[in-house]
Amino acid sequence: MVMHKEATIREPLVLGHKTFHEVTEDVCKPIEGKAPKTWYILFAIAAIIGVYGVGCILYLLGTGIGTWGLNKTINWAWDITNFVWWVGIGHAGTLISAVLLLFRQKWRMAINRSAEAMTIFAVFMAGMFPLIHMGRIWVAYWVMPLPNQFGSLWPNFNSPLLWDVFAISTYLSVSLVFWYIGLIPDFATIRDRAKKPLAKKMYGMLSFGWSGRAKQWSRFEMVSLVLAGLATPLVFSVHSIVSFDFATSVIPGWHTTIFPPYFVAGAVFSGFAMVQTLMLVMRKAYNLEAYIHTKHIEYMNIVIMATGSIVGVAYLTELFVSWYSGVEYEAYAFINRATGPYWWAYWAMMTCNVVSPQLMWFKKLRTSLTFTFIIAIVVNIGMWFERFVIIGTTLHRDYLPSSWSMFYPTHIDIGIFVGTIGLFFVFFLLFTRYFPVLALNEVKTILKSSGQSYKDGDAKTPAFSVEEQHLADVKMKAKSSATPAKEDIEKKTGSAENTELNALVASLGAVTPEQKDDLKELAGLGPVVESKMNEIGIYTFAQIARIDTESELTVLTAYLGTAGNKAKLVAWKLEAVEILKNDNK
């Protein structure tokens, strides 16, 4: 079988010497093993918050939406803000799954499963708000275009509420099918490994009798591509429809054609930030550092930086258009946002959404896990403020100063919003406990082209053919024979130079070739330098990070010759320290 050979300059997407079996073991371990105490603690906290939110919703339905902080002037506030915020978070899953699948981006395979799950749960939360905003949820079916046998045709197709119903239901159904289809092969893997009869039966039902035959895989690929083709327009259409809730009105600050693309960019922006937040915690909790590593984080940060820049341009365009239009009401709407009573919300939005993503231009920052986690939370806070600024600050001062008023959320407003966050994490924690968080069968498809051991040529796994395995074995033998042991180096000469070199390597710690890191990840360290370092026994970032004294730098510089100098060695040492720090986090 001819496999696609990937350039060695590309960083591997699966770190370590992973076999196909080890991929299965790593992904299935959280499902088959006992949940850690941390999982139970987090689940209990999320469940308590979720139950409180459900209690607030039940109180709202029993009492009426007068329990919200709405008034005569502000009849939309936290409920619509939260609705748009949750829909935005749900966009990253479809983008990662559908758009990146169509573009054949391999890095999506480590994060698509969890991103798709996040989409489903976020849309669940978003869908609650239009329903409870109706006030009388027991007649919610009136928004559906039922046959006239049920009575008169109730839907008002001019109502943004109805548009939201169609947008959310379509988005949820396609995303749910796409997510579930991708899970079927993985459910079959868990079914075949299950030891308990109940688990075997449940995963057997979920896998729909998947056997892994070539015809099934062919149909799986075809269905995935068709669903990706259907889902891709949804990324743009759903949030465009949500933006029409505002853009089709005649209220200054809303009545603008920039809203659809601006809302779509903002949705992808906030969605990727939430994916980063969840991925960084999950990779550490489930020891998935080999599959979700710095390169994946960097790629997602680049998307956040790009969409954040688009959102920033949209903000500036809005300000320009409000001035250029010559409409005093339009100009005042934006002046009021920046200098009015809610100025703090506007400037929080600008700082979080425009300034913070620009820090991603620096590679050291966009590859830092701690910095990424902080920025991801900051972006989600900023995007919530953006929705509140659009809604709250636009409505609280209308055409008549006599009717101006302020919005203050009640405990029910806050309780419902916090409750949806709790419910979201309840769903996500259950997902991580009983569903595979990585698309394990898809990850296996890139192991031979993007796995670290195959790119290095020292794979320990059975290859697709005897010839391939033979070539891998020959390469391994050549490598091991080209890498002399410490005793061999000492026997070569008794020169002072070799003695110093032996002492240096001994001080850095003994490491076997099997523990080798890809030293080419260090900026400016090419295959020639890596080979020379390996020859004397330097294989890992940890060893490079231990190079300390001036004398050690001098010895190593003399050994490398023209291939390296002290400045380069210091830079490599600092970069190795940073990589180890990020891996530990």
From CA 566, how far away is CA 574, in angstroms rounded?
12
| SS3 annotation, 485-543 | CHHHHHHHCCCHHHHHHHHHHHHHCCCCHHHCCCHHHCCCCCHHHHHHHHHHCCCCHHH
Q: How high is the pLDDT of residue 564?
A: 54
Q: How high is the pLDDT of residue 27?
A: 82
From CA 271, how far away is CA 235, in angstroms rounded?
11
Q: Quick one: tokens of 230? A: 């259907």
Q: How high is the pLDDT of residue 195?
A: 83
| Crossing angle (nearest 10°) for helices 294-324 and 328-339 | 130
Q: How high is the pLDDT of residue 287?
A: 81
**Chunked mean pLDDT (size 10), the chain, 585 residues:** 59 77 82 84 93 93 87 85 89 79 80 87 89 81 71 72 83 87 87 84 86 84 86 83 87 87 88 89 83 85 91 91 88 89 92 90 87 92 91 86 88 92 93 87 79 61 42 47 44 51 74 77 76 81 76 74 66 78 64
Q: How high is the pLDDT of residue 151?
A: 64
Alpha-carbon dihedral sign for residues 436, 441, 442, 447: positive
Q: pTM of the entire structure? A: 0.74
From CA 443, how far away is CA 13, in angstroms rounded?
9
Q: How high is the pLDDT of residue 529?
A: 78
Q: How high is the pLDDT of residue 583?
A: 65
- Transcribe 123-185 into DSSP letters: HHHHHHHHHHHTS-GGGGGGGS---GGGSS----TT-HHHHHHHHHHHHHHHHHHHHHHHHHH
- Transcribe 63-112 into DSSP letters: H-GGGSS--SS--SSHHHHHHHHHHHHTHHHHIIIIIHHHTT-GGGGGTH
